[in-house]
Amino acid sequence: MKKALFIIGLCLGITAGIEAQHCYHLVWADEFNSDGIPSAENWSYDTGDHGWGNNELQNYTCSPANSYVKNGILTIRALKQEGKWSSARLVSKNKRDFLYGRVEVMARLPEGRGTWPAIWMLLTGWEYGGWPESGEIDIMEHVGYDPLTVHGTVHTAAYNHVNGTQVGNSINVPAAFTNFNLYAIEWDSTGIDFFVNNEKYFSFANDGNHNFESWPFNKPFHLILNIAIGGNWGGREGIDDNLKEALMDIDYVRVYSTSDAPKITGPAKVKPRSAATFSLPVQTGASVEWLLPEGVRRSKRSAGGESIRVKWGKHSGTVNAVVTNSCGRMNAHPHPVDIENTKK
């Protein structure tokens, strides 16, 4: 069900009613297009069976039995064997860390009483101390005994479940087990908004007091994807005795920023008078104006738009483009192209 990624300049006016639009640019995505184990460039593993502070039952492993990519889908699999549970907890820590922007995860959740899947974020550097001082952003949490409800929550030193002050909200997602749904946050220095399928259901505002106790969300965080079994919350109503397996499927993870200009893809070197193609994926309805260096001509077969095919000239040059959408005009990163030396 993966949709083509036609998003570099992304305009989002997402909630019900009239909201200000926000323009985002894709800075990283994992589309899970390569079968096998999850990409080591993007993900590592938390491992162990010590309960993780919540009396959870699973042993987190790096085994492909517990996390694997197939047919464009990342699957996290909790598995019961000989009375013991194993699962996976994938983390992007020190590989893909983010400060502000929009984070999206398209996921189908596991079913079964006793499951506790989560899509969440922690501070990478732990600058403010341990949990909850360094904060936690729960983009999506679900417990199997409450099958129709998804939760979005923040934890800080001032707001956490230890002292009963945690802040969050929930939303009804009746097709959480059968359909892929989009779980997302939009996060900047003023607050964090939580969305399911682009419906905003919770906002957490920065109180402006400039203290980490209530707002530790001013430094890079990383993503975590996992299924826990049992625990203080997930196991509150027990675990189904017939449950042997639980699967969370992830179609994609995408992270957007308001700070990075779109990037042109194409060759860095070409031969004189050779053909070359340059691309700049854009959302539906956006237009691209290609600015070609002297001596470079558009191919007669090229329709332009988000991709352009050209016949290069005799000299090096730089390809530029301007994207126009409902957020306005933005310049792409210039794409320099050098002429290959064909002399032996």
- Residue 161 burial (C-beta neighbours within 10 Å; 0-12, 13-18, 19+): middle
Choosing from 136, 289, 294, 306, the catalytic residue is 136
Type and span of the H or E element at 255 = strand 245-257
Structure tokens at 70: 């197939």
Contact 8, 26 (CB under 8 A): yes
CA dihedral for 110, 63, 53, 211, sign (positive or negative): negative
Q: Determine which one of 104, 133, 141, 306 is catalytic.
A: 141
Residues 6+ apart with CB under 8 A from 29: 5, 252, 253, 254, 255
Concerning whether 141 is annotated as a catalytic residue, the answer is yes
What three-state secondary structure class fits 232?
helix
Single-letter code of the amino acid located at 271: K
Chain length of the chain: 344
The verdict on whether 133 is a catalytic residue reads no
10 Å Cβ neighbour count for 101? Answer: 21
Q: What is the dihedral of CA 95, 101, 104, 110, to 10 degrees?
A: 70
Decide: residue 172, CB within 10 A, 0-12 exposed, 13-18 middle, 19+ buried: exposed
Of 277, 281, 315, which is closest to residue 298 (Cα–Cα)?
277
Q: Tell me, what DSSP letter sits at residue 333?
A: B
User: 59 CB contacts (<8 Å, ≥6 apart)?
Assistant: 47, 48, 49, 84, 85, 86, 87
The residues assigned a catalytic role are: 136, 141
